[in-house]
């Protein structure tokens, strides 16, 4: 489960980066790309966030909003842990629990009074995060996450990531073969690669996914990383759009 501070950091970073747009529904393309690469599926992570109003709302209003979102997921509030944080400048309602045996849902509603130097009205943010092991549910949960944000009068900015594994440590030739399969499936171009002793990472653009992040004048909407875990003797692969939104 992603900690609150990580999600808040993502929000702050994206507010500071100009010209950021996000991927639309990709009809499970990431899951299909993972399968095309021959990886054993392990995990999915879907997160969406938005400003949902320009008011400093109280906890009772937050709870009503949360209950509407739980209804979208067919979840009961009694099975979710709820915590509150507050000061004169902010209120945070954090709710987390299981949707089924291997799927977690987290809903964060944060209302803030911004410092005077920002010259902006108060704002309330919504973050909806689903993570789980059954990748067959990826498309369904993506739609529900999006609906939760849009029905709250927010603008969907979904980031999603799928994780898979390969047995053993992969040499450079094998890594290149796997990446070639993914490149071919997603028609990835304009790649930027980074590699060290333990991790390979690349960013690129796929015409099958909508616009992503502008970096130095280039548009990237797919992020791939591979890393060997010596304790498990497995190589992990992450495919995210527009970026990998989880720790790896």
Is domain 4-18+47-158 classified as CATH 3.30.70?
no
Provide the whole-model pTM.
Answer: 0.85
Handedness of CA 7, 8, 11, 13 (dihedral sign): negative
Q: Please list the pLDDT of the chain residue by residue as tens digits (248 residues).
A: 444 444 444 444 344 333 334 444 456 899 999 999 999 999 999 999 999 999 999 999 999 999 999 999 999 888 899 999 999 999 999 999 999 999 999 999 999 998 887 768 999 999 999 999 999 999 999 999 999 999 999 999 899 999 999 999 998 899 999 999 999 999 998 888 888 777 889 999 999 987 688 877 788 999 999 999 999 999 999 999 998 877 76
The angle at the Cα of 208, spanning 220 to 176, to the nearest 5 degrees, equals 65
DSSP strands (E only) in the chain: 40-53, 80-86, 90-100, 103-112, 123-132, 159-167, 189-195, 199-205, 213-215, 218-220, 222-229, 234-241
What is the rounded CA–CA span in Å between residue 160 and residue 129? Answer: 10
Of 59, 184, 165, nearest to 111 by C-alpha is: 59
All structural domains of the chain with their residue ranges = 4-18+47-158
Distance CA 105, CA 109 (A): 13
Tokens at 78, concatenated: 């009694």
């Amino acid at each position: 489960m992603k900690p609150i501070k990580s999600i808040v950091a993502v929000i702050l970073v994206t507010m500071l980066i100009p010209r950021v747009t996000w991927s639309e529904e990709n009809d499970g393309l990431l899951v299909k790309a993972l399968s095309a690469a021959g990886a054993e599926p392990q995990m999915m992570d879907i997160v969406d966030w938005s400003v949902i109003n320009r008011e400093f709302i109280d906890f009772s209003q937050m709870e009503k909003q949360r209950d509407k979102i739980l209804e979208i997921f067919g979840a009961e509030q009694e099975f979710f842990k709820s915590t509150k944080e507050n000061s004169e400048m902010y209120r945070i309602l954090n709710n987390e629990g299981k949707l089924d045996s291997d799927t977690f849902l987290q809903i964060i509603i944060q209302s803030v009074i911004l410092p005077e130097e920002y010259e902006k009205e108060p704002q309330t943010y919504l973050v909806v995060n689903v993570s789980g092991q059954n990748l067959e549910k990826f498309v369904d949960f993506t739609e529900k996450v999006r609906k939760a944000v849009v029905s709250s009068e927010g603008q969907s900015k979904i980031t999603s990531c799928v994780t898979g594994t390969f047995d053993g440590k992969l040499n450079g030739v094998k890594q290149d073969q796997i990446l070639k399969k993914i490149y071919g499936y997603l028609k990835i171009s304009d790649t930027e690669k980074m590699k060290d002793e333990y991790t390979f990472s690349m960013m690129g653009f796929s015409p099958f996914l909508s616009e992503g992040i502008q970096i130095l004048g280039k548009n990237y909407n797919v992020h791939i990383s591979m890393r060997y875990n010596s304790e498990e003797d497995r190589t992990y692969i992450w495919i995210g759009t527009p970026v990998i939104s989880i720790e790896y």
